[in-house]
Amino acid sequence: MDSTSRSSVIIIGAGISGISAGKILAENGIEDILILEASDRIGGRVRNEKFGGVSVELGAGWIAGVGGKESNPVWELASKSGLRTCFSDYTNARYNIYDRSGKIIPSGVAADSYKKAVESAIANLKNLEATNSNIGEVIKAAMELPSSPKTPLELAIDFILHDFEMAEVEPISTYVDFGEREFLVADERGYAHLLYKMAEEFLSTSDGKILDNRLKLNKVVRELQHSRNGVTVKTEDGCVYEANYVILSASIGVLQSDLISFKPPLPKWKTEAIEKCDVMVYTKIFLKFPCKFWPCSPEKEFFIYAHERRGYYTFWQHMENAYPGSNILVVTLTNGESKRVEAQPDEETLKEAMEALRDMFGPDIPNATDILVPRWWNNRFQRGSYSDYPIISDNQLVNNIRAPVGGIFFTGEHTSERFNGYVHGGYLAGIDTGKAVVEKIRKDNERNNSETQNFLLEPLLALTLTQTEAMPSLHKCDIPKQLYLSGKLGIPEAIL
């Protein structure tokens, strides 16, 4: 067990925000840091795993926002590291919609339904913005309208529209700032390779492994005690660490859970802001097959299953563009369906997925030989996939979530006002938080130096009081200078 030690800064969480914050600290000469990571690896929700002979991304999988006038910083990191990626265009999925009889819905019918769904969504959201109504009431009213999605096709398009493409009325900042193209990461080293390359810039490594003892894995933080004297961090294994400042990069889901306790408790304005932010659950289920039975052209990479139940095994992708010959399909579930599937055995999930595939491609298709089901919701170190701010919210909500409390600074994709929910949002948030801590350290050092000088000065002023009585016109602040000029003080560097 580690003995109690004190660092200048402790970073809790070695996801992309924690690593990018650490890099900023190191670049500014603050190397007395400690990174405490709850799991056995760095990366957070950027995680790859070997499945079916290839590397698949269980969490973040795309670099979204490429090809614009401004370069996406994560795309820059990927290019610098030679990360292999494949262009993705899931908007084609709306023209590859299968009904339960295996027929593809005519593109004209699908396009018309999609257009109506977009128009209806924009109208509802603009009405919500205009009236500032309670979102639950507006959604309930919208579902009761004759135009609300009811058929399998309408439900499927509604799912694609709201769970994949459009989260707000205004253009999404990522695509406005960085471009509208998206690239799937398809590299055997994994998306997390970018984090390792970043960590190498300030942590000691050897043969691709981080050996620096300033990174401690399997350290589950359970308590933060904060005061004017700094922050004390207690971990599940009984270790205690002290620091002047803490950067907390836990996810919004973890902040909403009871994993980490704060003493004293966080202020009400902070906890209320944290609770108002939604947590999205996004589950990519991977299925390995002995052979292909689905169309494999690039424009058929994504396809949709129209079912009577919204979000039920709706969104599919084949991995042939990323890994030719891999014979892997991916189906993405979200929120309620994700939580339901996480709670059941993988065998039941495989059965449900195969029933959906047999509806689309016939009863004679082969069984999957393997299945991989990530569980982000039940992972107590994540508690979800990414943050989602309420449709009607102001800047104050984001500001309150990311505002520091004493020596505790909060970071993560959920603290990014423009890019929450994206990898580049987490990366940029870490940079911003690192800079904020550097500035805080600078200001505190300046104040401490000033207080130290005053502490040294006061006794000298008391000792020379009788001498100053002979100089009634002399101002108190001039005494050190006069004493030095008269040769009666031998340590001028302490007072000048």
What is the average pLDDT score of the chain? 88
CB 107 within 8 A of CB 299: no
pLDDT for res 484: 31
Please choose, from the candidates 152, 162, 165, the residue with its C-alpha nearest in 3D space to the C-alpha of residue 97. 152
| Predicted confidence (pLDDT) at residue 481 exceeds the cutoff of 70 | no
* pLDDT value for 460: 53
Which segment of 196-205, 317-326, 420-429, 450-459 scores lowest on mean pLDDT? 450-459
Helix axes 423-463, 16-27, angle to 10 degrees: 40
Six-digit token pair at 63? 């670099």
| Helices (H) then strands (E): counts for the chain | 15, 23
Residue 37, annotated as binding a ligand: yes
* pLDDT tens-digit readout, 121-144: 777 766 766 665 554 554 444 444
Q: CATH number for the 91-165+282-372 domain, one of 3.40.50.1370, 3.40.50.300, 3.20.20.220, 3.90.660.10?
A: 3.90.660.10
More confident residue, 150 or 428: 428
Please report, to the nearest 10 degrees, the dihedral formed by the alpha carbons of residues 330, 331, 336, 342 taken in order. Answer: -50
- Would the annotation count 17 as a binding residue? yes
Quick one: what percent of the chain has pLDDT higher than 70? 84
Of 60-74, 237-251, 439-453, the least confident: 439-453
Does position 474 have pLDDT exceeding 50, yes or no?
Answer: no
Q: Which of 185, 245, 239, 193 is nearest to 32 (CA)?
A: 245
pTM (predicted TM-score)? 0.87
Asked if 413 contacts 250 with a C-beta cutoff of 8 angstroms, the reply is no
What is the torsion angle, in degrees rounded to the nearest 10, for the CA atoms of residue 463, residue 469, residue 472 and residue 477? Answer: 0
Residue 231, annotated ligand binder? no
CA distances from 134 to 118, 128, 145, 329, 388 (A): 21, 8, 17, 39, 17
Is 119 labelled as part of a ligand binding site?
no
CB 153 within 8 A of CB 109: yes
Residue 427: partners with Cβ closer than 8 Å, 6 or more residues away: 16, 17, 20, 73, 74, 77
Our CA dihedral for 121, 125, 127, 131, rounded to 10 degrees, sits at: 160
Highest mean pLDDT among 137-141, 408-412, 445-449: 408-412
Burial of 185 (0-12, 13-18, 19+ CB in 10 A): buried
Which part of the chain has CATH 3.50.50.60? 7-47+187-278+389-444
* Local confidence band at 270 (pLDDT 50, 70, 90 cut-offs): very high
Residue 86 has pLDDT above 60, yes or no: yes
Predicted local distance difference test score (pLDDT) of residue 330? 98
Please state which CATH class domain 7-47+187-278+389-444 belongs to.
alpha beta
- For residue 229, pLDDT beyond 60: yes
Residue range(s) in the chain whose domain bears CATH number 3.90.660.10: 91-165+282-372
DSSP 8-state secondary structure symbol assigned to residue 162: I
Mean pLDDT of 447-455: 76
Sign, CA torsion 37/40/41/44: negative
Nearest CA among 319, 317, 335 for reference residue 327: 319
Among 406, 398, 402, 401, which Cα is nearest to 440's?
406
